[in-house]
């Protein structure tokens, strides 16, 4: 492994871990552009899944007292049902187009929240819709490692305090991406090169995630809400822009 590869893996891990610790999602969206410079796409995506899982465990522990088990179960159980559908579609689906669609969705909702900062958020849960969002999150987690995208948007529509939002997003991603990691291993995607990258990235991911959690705990509710909205907007821009750029680039 070259020095350049080590540096790019470390920077991506630090950025992804910081955002995940701060907001509860976003490891891949903020790290993948660095890792794709020095790793094959399959190894880069597998690294996203593994480190998202590791960062998520730290974040889930930080919000354990805010866990609402019935609400979490409404998202998580349907997501587990969605995982097999996602894995079944993995080889046939155009993941590039799917990422553009998800990125556009993040972009639209992020832009809406920025333009409508005083949007009246829902005070009541919508239980059937929660289950639908969880199911789609499971499918997206299996197909593209994007399990947290739709639940993040959905949580932002509700008048949940920051602990309530994290208590859904973080455990949800930990469980779904943990299953995806196991399946990646079964499919032979966790090879020697991947574990070398994990060894390099893990310390930077853990430390930066702890910094993100430290900052998160000191944010007020309005500050956290604003950061979440802007991260949704930036994530959509990065995800859709990266995939469009890859599709339009001359071959």
Q: What is the pLDDT of residues 29-45, one digit of tens each?
A: 788 878 888 888 778 88
Q: Is the pLDDT of residue 207 over 90?
A: yes
Q: Is the pLDDT of residue 98 over 90?
A: no
Region 222-250: what's the mean pLDDT? 83
Q: What is the pLDDT of residues 2-31, one digit of tens each?
A: 899 999 999 999 998 898 888 877 787 788
Query: What is the structure's pLDDT at 53?
Result: 84
Confidence band of 251 (pLDDT split at 50, 70, 90): low
> Token pair for residue 44?
């880069």
Using a 10 angstrom Cβ sphere, with 0-12 exposed, 13-18 middle and 19 or more buried, the burial of residue 185 is middle
List phi, psi (to 5°) of 116: -120, 70
**Can you give the pTM of this predicted structure?**
0.83
Q: Write the DSSP assignment of 174-217 as a string of letters.
A: HHHHHHHHHHHHHTT-S-HHHHHHHHHHHHHHHHHHHHHHHHHH
Mean per-residue pLDDT over the chain, rounded: 87
Q: What angle is formed at CA 27 by the lines to CA 25 and CA 160, rounded to 5 degrees?
A: 10
Q: What is the pLDDT of residues 137-187, one digit of tens each?
A: 999 888 877 888 889 889 988 989 888 888 898 899 889 988 988 988 888
Judged by phi (left if over 0) then psi (alpha if -120 to 50, else beta), residue 161 lies in: beta
Query: What is the structure's pLDDT at 235?
Result: 82
Query: What is the structure's pLDDT at 135?
Result: 97
Residue entry with tokens 């553009």:
100
């Amino acid at each position: 492994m070259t020095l350049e590869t080590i540096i790019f893996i470390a920077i991506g891990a630090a950025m992804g871990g910081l955002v995940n610790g701060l907001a509860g999602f976003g490891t891949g969206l903020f790290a993948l552009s660095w890792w794709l410079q020095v790793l094959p796409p399959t190894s880069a995506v597998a690294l996203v899944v593994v480190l998202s899982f590791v960062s998520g465990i730290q974040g889930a522990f930080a919000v354990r007292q805010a866990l609402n088990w019935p609400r979490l179960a409404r998202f998580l159980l349907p997501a587990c049902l969605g995982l097999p559908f996602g894995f079944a579609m993995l080889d046939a689906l155009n993941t590039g187009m799917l990422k553009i669609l998800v990125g556009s969705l993040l972009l639209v909702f992020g832009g809406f929240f920025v333009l409508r900062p005083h949007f009246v958020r829902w005070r009541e849960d919508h239980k059937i819709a929660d289950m639908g969002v969880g199911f789609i999150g499971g499918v997206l987690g299996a197909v593209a490692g994007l399990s947290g995208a739709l639940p993040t948007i959905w949580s932002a529509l509700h008048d949940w305090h920051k602990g309530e939002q994290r208590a859904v997003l973080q455990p949800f991603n930990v469980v779904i991406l943990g299953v995806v990691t196991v399946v990646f291993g079964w499919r032979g995607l966790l090879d020697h090169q991947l574990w070398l990258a994990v060894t390099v990235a893990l310390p930077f991911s853990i430390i930066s995630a702890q910094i993100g959690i430290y900052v998160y705990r000191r944010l007020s509710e309005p500050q956290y809400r604003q950061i979440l909205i802007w991260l949704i907007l930036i994530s959509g821009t990065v995800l859709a822009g990266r995939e469009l750029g890859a599709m339009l680039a001359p071959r």
